[in-house]
Amino acid sequence: MADSSTQSIIIGASPDRVAAVICDFPRYPEWTEAVRHAEVVEEYEDGYASQVRFTLDAGVLADEYVLAYEYAEDISRIEWHLTAPSRMQRSQRGSYDLVENPDGTTTVTYTLEVELSVAMLGMFRRKAEKMIMDAALKQLKRRVETPGAAD
């Protein structure tokens, strides 16, 4: 059974800029340490990715999988799910929720639910989830806030 974890971070940019970085999947290997390759395999008519193949190598966790994406009309929510079980995962669901703050920053809330195909003690799985989420949010913040990096 999969447990859901949620974390938030404040990023010094507009929600549109944050969403642009999140949705630029082919550039993930430039700023996401564990992603070795990301390829859009299917798009919606509006050009947003509907399916993306990822190759992940995070040391003990190496995997290749395809995620299907859906977007809120105003791109304030980006959500995904695993299209088929992979070598390491039975299921994965996640989302980014983007909320604009009065000072022009964006609060990004990342929710992730993963059911692994391999057995892992609960405390180790929770620690791994926390590390993955911390890294994902911090790397996203660094990418969005670094001048010229996401252009």
Domain residue limits, the chain? 3-145
> Has domain 3-145 been given CATH number 3.30.530.20?
yes
Q: How confident is the model at residue 9 (pLDDT cuts 50, 70, 90)?
A: very high
Burial of 116 (0-12, 13-18, 19+ CB in 10 A): middle
Q: What is the model's pTM?
A: 0.89
Report which residue type is found at 123.
M
| Beta-carbon-side half-sphere exposure of residue 147 (alpha carbons within 13 Å) | 0
Give Cβ neighbours of residue 43 (< 8 Å, ≥ 6 apart). Answer: 49, 50
**129 has pLDDT over 60:** yes
Residue 134 has a pLDDT of 77
4 vs 37, residue with greater confidence: 37
pLDDT tens-digit readout, 22-80: 999 999 999 998 899 999 999 999 999 999 999 988 776 789 999 999 999 999 999 99
How long is the chain?
A: 151
pLDDT, mean of residues 93-119: 92
